[in-house]
Structure 1
Amino acid sequence: MSISTRTVAAREKAQGALTWRIIPNIWDPKSNPDGFVSLGAAENSLMHDEPNQHVRDNFSPSNVASTYVDGMTGTKRLKAAMAQFLNRHLQPFQPLEPSHIEVTNGCSSAIEHLVWGLSNPGEGFLLGQPYYGTFTPDIQSSLRRSTPTSAIPRHGSPSHPHNPLGRCYTRDAIIGPMRLCEKYGIHFISDEIYALSVWNNTVDEGEPVAFESALSIKPTVIINPSRVHATYGMSKDFGAN
């Protein structure tokens, strides 16, 4: 059975990655005491018991949740709950409504959908370094191997709070790229999957920068609001990979 060249390349790259040899053999005190303790995956294992118990005690979906009645991007109930949750924690300059939210199976899929929907083959993506390694395949799967010499930027995306540096951008550091995006007609995508995984740093010298969502910045004279997008996921803050 033949497969695409993209699939062959992705499979060969994955087979050489140490991560996929470790994940099937993760340490467990009872079932796998000789397994690996992985420090290379952003998983909050200490949170597994709490959200799982909460779901068992409180989750009672209606039959509508198993249908397409509410569309393909999340039920009305879920979007309403997410809007309320994000308004409370991200404090956007304009309250989010359920209609502002699209639900996907993770931030990787959300980024891929955004790139696919906002750009054409041959166009590029501005991404500051260092960056989360999986950004590259997420973006390339939509842009189809754009070359640096020919790619026309259509998006700029900070990881905020930053991955892998673990720091939050200052307000000015967010506004600057927003102005750049507006000047050149580029969409601004803020990856905020770690938005609530922030705490006071009492070890390093200097006052740490507090997290401020890109959605909390009033875009007047900075950027057209239609160019601003933010992604958020449950995997980090709720240990729900």
Structure 2
Amino acid sequence: MFTFTKKESRAPATCLGSASTQGLDSNYGDSLERECARKTDQKLLELYGVGDPAPTFSSNSAHLSSRGRIIKWFWDSAEEGYRTYHMDEYDEDKNPNGIINLGTSENKLCFDLLAQRLSQSDMLRVEPSLLQYPDWRGHLFLREEVARFLSLHCKSPAPLKPDNVVVLNGCASLFSALATVLCEVGEAFLIPAPYYGAITQHVYLYGNVRLVYVYLDSEVTGLDTRPFQLTVEKLEAALQGAKSEGVKVKGLILINPQNPLGDVYSPEELREYLEFAKRHELHVVMDEVYMLSVFEDSVGYRSVLSLERLPDPLRTHVMWAASKDFGMSGLRFGTLYTENRDVATAVASLCRYHGLSGLVQYQMAQLLQDRDWIDQVYLPENHARLRAAHTYVSGELGALGIPFLHQGAGFFIWVDLRKYLPEATFEGEMLLWRRFLDNKVLLSFGKAFACKEPGWFRLVFSDQAHRLRLGMQRIRQVLQGTSQVAENPPSCQTQDLRGQHR
């Protein structure tokens, strides 16, 4: 079990009230009130953060607009590890000393199954309509298949409607489109943190929309709670904190299963979050891109589309893509399901810039309608391979005595490496990350996910066995060679997080 220090989940002020200063020197009372306000502000800042990338960027290119400089800054600042990896990529034969990538969340376990299916003769069809401009929402034949596919796999109580489907080239484009059509410039989405950090760029670069982080803690507050648990109280505190800073919050982004935690929200939790959003008239963007990558039956995943009644259907927008569940991140297929026709139409208009070729649309329709292959061949084998890879990596972490979250969903394990930091800071986190990279293994560090606690890393396990073995061997070498406990280690004493799953 994971042993924690108890921590208050709300943000009440614990300072003395004004009546408590009676009889004291007035200057003392003033200073006490200022100290109280400072501590209250600090407590609130522990619960939320307002992201605003613009003031932090630095790029002095004379050839770019101010927006272009910001866009370039994102690339320069966020891609260091991946640029290094692509210049020195591991190859079993050509570059065995290259970098093993356990940082990019891709499923590399089922290429054999996909190559066989996508190479069959029914996948290739060329006709005039597929080479001409389509309906920007996506060809009707594809939207019909998407509606049937989601109705089945999301277990919707009623058949989903093709008219509520929009098809475009991936969830990154979909985040950008939704941010642009739902928010004014400078408005914000709430998002539980840690979260998939690229969403910052997705909502900001086109729409100039910000994120308000709802900080989650590794510590638990009672017997019925779990690490990094999202609660309505935390959502309320972050919303009120953003309002106090003059930031208008327009929506809530939820990832289910969650990235990077692998957490899965129960139907009861989903309904609580949706009811919170309805009370405050917030849009809810549900990212369910890992919905078919839940490899442990005990997890009990439920799509938001399976709920009998959505509290606010016109403000609930669900996205899914083939990038994760079908290991096709390079194909660039994503889809939106929303009952709000205005939102669907506005997003479809942006599909002029983010559409799919007719040939790819045809292939996706053929794939999605092949229920026998999906349900009897691909999904069972994919789950078995994910389960085996997860078992191996979690066993290696356990042998090293490293705490981690075990959730049974997604492609990654959220790993607690705080005891290995040279110092308990984000600078220390970066130093450890660079040691991994120098030792030819790429991980993702917690700050990239807006985790407020330095020392957490995301480790992707959905790769072939020989690369996993070599990657874990290199991780072991780094940790055993640099096993330095921080001078002020976190008060949270961890043994093993595997008991904290559901």
Under TM normalisation by the shorter chain, which class is it?
0.7 to 0.9
Q: Distance in 1 between matches of 2:304 and 2:150?
A: 12
Question: Do 1:124 and 1:143's aligned partners in 2 also have CA atoms closer than 8 Å?
Answer: no
Number of aligned positions between the proteins: 232
Query: Please, which of 6, 10, 19 is the counterpart of residue 82 of structure 2?
Result: 19
- Post-superposition offset of 1:60: 2.2
Question: Do 1:169 and 1:209's aligned partners in 2 also have CA atoms closer than 8 Å?
Answer: no
Question: Do 1:192 and 1:213's aligned partners in 2 also have CA atoms closer than 8 Å?
Answer: yes
Q: Distance in 2 between matches of 1:11 and 1:179?
A: 39
Report the equivalent of 2:326. Answer: 238
Give the match's secondary structure for 1:71: coil
Q: TM-score, normalised by structure 1?
A: 0.88
Report the equivalent of 2:205. Answer: 141
Q: 1:135 to 1:146 in 2, by over 3 A?
A: closer
Give the match's secondary structure for 1:40: coil
| Deviation larger for 18-27 or 88-97 | 18-27
Q: TM-score, normalised by structure 2?
A: 0.44
What are the Cα deviations for residues 132-167 of structure 1, in whole angstroms up to 9, with x where unaligned?
111111111244165952321111111100100112
Question: Where in structure 2 are there 5+ consecutive unaligned residues?
Answer: 1-61, 212-241, 330-502
- Post-superposition offset of 1:214: 0.7
Give the match's secondary structure for 2:167: coil
1:103 aligns with 2:103: no
Question: Do 2:189 and 2:210's aligned partners in 1 also have CA atoms closer than 8 Å?
Answer: no
- Post-superposition offset of 1:75: 1.4
Question: Do 2:91 and 2:98's aligned partners in 1 also have CA atoms closer than 8 Å?
Answer: yes
Give the match's secondary structure for 2:86: helix
Q: Distance in 1 between matches of 2:187 and 2:209?
A: 9
Query: Please, which of 47, 65, 87 is the counterpart of residue 130 of structure 2?
Result: 65
What are the Cα deviations for residues 208-233 of structure 1, in whole angstroms up to 9, with x where unaligned?
531100111122xx522111111101
What are the Cα deviations for residues 167-220 of structure 1, in whole angstroms up to 9, with x where unaligned?
21111111111111111111111100000010117xxxxxx531100111122x
Give the match's secondary structure for 2:188: strand
Q: 1:229 to 1:94 in 2, by over 3 A?
A: farther
Q: 1:174 to 1:24 in 2, by over 3 A?
A: farther
Question: Do 1:116 and 1:142's aligned partners in 2 also have CA atoms closer than 8 Å?
Answer: yes
Please identify the structure whose Cα radius of gyration is greater: 2
Question: Do 1:167 and 1:209's aligned partners in 2 also have CA atoms closer than 8 Å?
Answer: no
One-letter amino acid matched to 2:317: H
Q: Which is strand-richer, 1 or 2?
A: 2
- Post-superposition offset of 1:40: 0.3
Query: Please, which of 92, 95, 114 is the counterpart of residue 29 of structure 1?
Result: 92
Question: Do 2:171 and 2:319's aligned partners in 1 also have CA atoms closer than 8 Å?
Answer: yes
What are the Cα deviations for residues 52-100 of structure 1, in whole angstroms up to 9, with x where unaligned?
33122131234212222x4123212221222222111111233212211
Report the equivalent of 1:120. Answer: 184
Question: Do 1:169 and 1:211's aligned partners in 2 also have CA atoms closer than 8 Å?
Answer: yes
One-letter amino acid matched to 1:39: L
One-letter amino acid matched to 2:140: K
Query: Please, which of 63, 67, 80 is the counterpart of residue 6 of structure 1?
Result: 67
| Deviation larger for 131-140 or 42-51 | 42-51
Report the equivalent of 1:205. Answer: none
- Post-superposition offset of 1:127: 0.6
Q: Distance in 2 between matches of 1:23 and 1:127?
A: 30
Query: Please, which of 277, 286, 296 is the counterpart of residue 181 of structure 1?
Result: 277
Give the match's secondary structure for 2:326: coil
Q: 1:35 to 1:77 in 2, by over 3 A?
A: farther
Give the match's secondary structure for 2:271: helix
One-letter amino acid matched to 2:132: T
One-letter amino acid matched to 1:172: E
| Deviation larger for 57-66 or 187-196 | 57-66
Query: Over aligned residue pairs, what C-alpha RMSD do you find?
Result: 2.0
Q: Distance in 1 between matches of 2:157 and 2:283?
A: 18
Q: Distance in 1 between matches of 2:319 and 2:295?
A: 20
Q: Distance in 2 between matches of 1:94 and 1:118?
A: 27
Q: Distance in 1 between matches of 2:67 and 2:114?
A: 37
| Deviation larger for 107-116 or 141-150 | 141-150
Q: Distance in 2 between matches of 1:189 and 1:93?
A: 20
Identity between Structure 1 and Structure 2 (%): 28
| Deviation larger for 75-84 or 1-10 | 1-10
Give the match's secondary structure for 1:103: strand
- Post-superposition offset of 1:14: 2.4
Higher relative contact order (CA 8 A, sep 6+): 2
Report the equivalent of 2:294. Answer: 198
